[in-house]
Chains A and B, each alone.
Chain A
Amino acid sequence: MRYGMAIDTRKCVGCADCVVACQTENNIPIGYTRDWIAELNEGTYPNLHLEIRSERCNHCENTPCVRTCPTGASHIILGGIVKVTHEECIGCGACIQSCPYDARYMHPDGYVDKCTFCDHRVANGQEPACVSVCPTHCMYFGDLDDPNSEVSKVVAANKIKTLAPEAGTKPQIFYLV
């Protein structure tokens, strides 16, 4: 099993509902966030192109953040979800330095926090909070190893890209472009 996401940049309107849903669902301290919206403006008038993306930890296949963690607090659970055990984290910041997406942050309580793909919801058969609230249904979550899952089909049928592939982390969030 390999959890992953497909996000349709052509449907995303940048409303940031996913950001708020995550903050509520996961009790994120005020002023912090696990997901965010990025905009890419490209081209010269009149050939302008706008791409809006909802971004978070990519739950990479090749995880520098897990490798550089000295205590083993950063680890990978079933389905390839990258998690942090708060009680084992010493707050050294090594994993933050090693993430090319700056997807991690230091929780005010002294441990590192990041997107968990809402594994507590996924375990109950629900979708991550961000996916479930998206008003344009631009996000797909599921098992990338299963060719019949919705996310696999969407990834197979569309032109896709990942973020900063040159960083070599093999992201598991695919953007439809």
Chain B
Amino acid sequence: MREELITSGRMNLNIDPVLHIWHWQIPVYLFLGGLAAGLLFFAAYYTIIGKEKKFTTAVKFAPVLAPVAIILGLIALLLDLKHPAYFWQLYTTVHLESPMSWGAWVLMFIMPISMLWVASYFKEIFPKFDINQNIVGKMLKKVIVKNDNKEGANWDWKFEIIRKFEINFIKNRKPVAWVMLILAVILGVYTGILLSAFNARPLWNSSILGPLFLTSGLSTAAATIMWMSDNHEEKRTFSKIDLMLIVIELFLITHLFMGFLAGSEAKVQAAQYFLGGEFTVTFWINVVIIGLIVPAILETLELLKFKLPVMVPAAMILWGGMIFRFIMVEAGQVTRFLY
């Protein structure tokens, strides 16, 4: 018999009886960060290989969601802080060893780039946008646009400097795409590294988490693009990409658990939570079956020319990705070395 317990009644809030210092905010932040990273990755990638004409959803439309996701993610992170008023302290230092720190910085850089990216396609996305008609238009007219019929659209930027910047930005889309691609990969990997940096939690202490979160983020983004696209060929391409990502994800998940089972006692115990323990049902049903296997089957059927609404597998993948992050954050806090 071996029994170890705290007898002086330590009951620190959110620490005892099991650690629960991170709630819904961190998984949501990780999910949105991964989604944004994936969307920007595909936009940058298809620009770099010169296929922006073919993959219009991936390059022009879907990235609109990225800044929205990043801002919502940052709000979630802010809600997690117990002292949000000191939030700016994140930006007074750079601690490369702290994933929280460099993640905050990557978001800081990727946010303006993604916004400019979207803005630079604004004229193309809304060629008939009439600034005299709706509220948004009227508001923009007051601040930043003017009524001046130059190149087809009935509006243009009010300030010369913005016009010049826009022209330059559009000319240099490729180099910008390279920067965005690199930042997107860093952001995607970061969402996994954030957890794996915490050696104290056996479940998170695995180098597989980085690539696994990156793959999962890319696959949620591919699902979103697939869902939004109305071009048949683009849909097919992203269906294929998604299928490939799902296979990689299944491989990484297997690898993750095999690694745990071959590891120290604490890691074997961590894996047990998923192989018979508390999280078994939630994990295998929501993440593996609903989030990976069923969409993979549906997508294969679709590629074999069966007619299916693409929305179904896409929604399942997004659901699986979200639940995956919730479970990882939740279960990681339960696993421990002592007591």
Contact = CB atoms under 8 A, between A and B. Distances in A.
- Chain B interface extent, by class: 35 or more
Nearest to B82: A91
A167 B2 contact: no
Contact of A70 (B5, B15, B100, B333): B100
Interface residues of A, number: 50
A166 B100 CA distance: 24
Contact of B100 (A88, A94, A99, A167): A94
B211 interface: no
Contacts of A96: 15, 19, 21
B151 interface: no
A7 B333 CA distance: 29
Nearest to A20: B8
Contacts of A93: 21-22, 80, 82
A73 B87 CA distance: 12
Interface string B65-89: 0000000000000001111101101
Nearest to B5: A39
B237 interface: no
Given A37-B8, A166-B266, A105 B104 contact: no
B82 A71 contact: no
B273 to A, nearest CB: 17
Contacts of A90: 81-84, 86-87, 89-90
Interface of A: 14, 16, 19, 31-33, 36-44, 52, 64, 67-73, 87-94, 96-102, 104-106, 108, 110-111, 163-164, 166-168
A105 B12 CA distance: 6
Contacts of B251: none
Nearest to A104: B15
Contacts of A110: 82-83
B198 to A, nearest CB: 5
A38 B21 contact: no
Given A41-B1, A70-B104, A102-B19, A167 B337 contact: yes
B199 A43 contact: no
Given A67-B98, A68-B99, A72-B95, A89 B8 contact: no
A100 B83 contact: no
B147 interface: no
A32 to B, nearest CB: 5
Contact of A100 (B10, B81, B200): B200
A97 B4 contact: no
Given A19-B8, A88-B89, A31 B2 contact: no
Give the one of A14, A71, A99 with max B CB within 10 A: A71
